[in-house]
Amino acid sequence: MPRNRNGIPAYQKIQSAVQRRIESGRLKPGDAVDSERELARLHRVSLMTARHALSMLEREGMVQRRRGAGTFVAPPKIHFNKLMSFTEQMGGRNLAAHSKVLHCGPTDGEPEVAAKLGLPSDAQLLKIERLRLGADDPFAIETCYLSAAEFSGLTRAQLERGSLFSLLQQDYAIQLSYADEEIDATAADARTAQLLRVARDLPLLRMRQVLYSSKAKPVLYVTGLYPSDRHKLLIRRYR
């Protein structure tokens, strides 16, 4: 039997093929997906490989498997607590997103941040401070920290142009997958108030995030300040 050498794994190809049929709408929620044996026959792989493909789709919540019955397209996911870049959030409201880079350069006096990124406490970090604007109104101030060693190629120009999320994905092949956030409230200091064009001492939401790659490696530390008249955080929590 010919083997798939140095290419995309067979189970991923099968997975994508099924996924395309679901996302294109040819298969609707509740519809039966090809069975393991059917997929194995069609793609000329063994049962275990076809199984693996369906197993991954189930893990992602695209299908549900029922023993004795079959594999079925799952109802569309509800995206609560979704991790979105600023650009994506603004896109959802049909607002043009811009960023003004206030600062972009190396620091090394931040041992606590380094620790959160799993780096030695004397590691050099790249610090990026940005004012986030939607339709030219200031929405937030965000400060990002990354390992300077790993992301030395990052330039200010790249940041002005596009989203840091997509930059990491395209230029560094890093897929951000989840974030742990700590949220509290604070008051605007003079500089913050001026930048965000709000009154001094206005209550702000403060968010501190550690963003992890799909391999559970901490990649990015972000602290953000969000005036509460322009942001509402929506969370669904489960018992």
Q: Which residues bind its own copies (CB under 8 A)?
A: 48, 59, 64, 74, 78, 80-83, 175-187, 201, 203-205, 216, 228, 231-239
At residue 40, φ and ψ (nearest 5 deg) are -60, -45
Considering the complex, what minimum distance in angstroms separates the CB of residue 67 from its own copies?
10
Selection from DNA, its own copies, none that 205 binds (CB < 5 to 8 A by kind) is: its own copies
Selection from DNA, its own copies, none that 235 binds (CB < 5 to 8 A by kind) is: its own copies
* Angstrom distances, CA of residue 124 to CA of 51, 131, 152, 162, 210: 45, 23, 10, 24, 17
Q: Which is nearer to DNA, 197 or 215 (CB)?
A: 215
Considering the complex, what minimum distance in angstroms separates the CB of residue 149 from DNA?
16
Considering the complex, what minimum distance in angstroms separates the CB of residue 92 from DNA?
33
Q: Which is nearer to DNA, 70 or 162 (CB)?
A: 70
Considering the complex, what minimum distance in angstroms separates the CB of residue 23 from DNA?
19
Burial class (CB in 10 A: 0-12, 13-18, 19+), 128: buried
Task: Provide the phi-psi class of 68: left if phi over 0, else alpha when psi is between -120 and 50, else beta.
Answer: left
- Find the angle CA(200)-CA(204)-CA(205) to the nearest 5 degrees: 170
What is the Cα–Cα distance from 221 to 107, expressed in whole angstroms?
14
Selection from DNA, its own copies, none that 238 binds (CB < 5 to 8 A by kind) is: its own copies
Selection from its own copies, DNA, none that 71 binds (CB < 5 to 8 A by kind) is: DNA
Selection from its own copies, DNA, none that 170 binds (CB < 5 to 8 A by kind) is: none
- Find the angle CA(197)-CA(203)-CA(209) to the nearest 5 degrees: 95
Contact 132, 141 (CB under 8 A): yes
Applying CB under 7 A, the residues found at the interface with DNA are 1, 3-6, 9-12, 33, 35-38, 44-49, 51-52, 54-55, 65-71
What is the Cα–Cα distance from 226 to 89, expressed in whole angstroms?
14
Considering the complex, what minimum distance in angstroms separates the CB of residue 173 from DNA?
12
Neighbours of 168 (CB within 10 A): 21
Q: How are beta strands 70-73 and 125-134 bridged, if at all? A: unpaired
Selection from its own copies, DNA, none that 169 binds (CB < 5 to 8 A by kind) is: none
Q: Which is nearer to DNA, 65 or 208 (CB)?
A: 65
Considering the complex, what minimum distance in angstroms separates the CB of residue 8 from DNA?
8
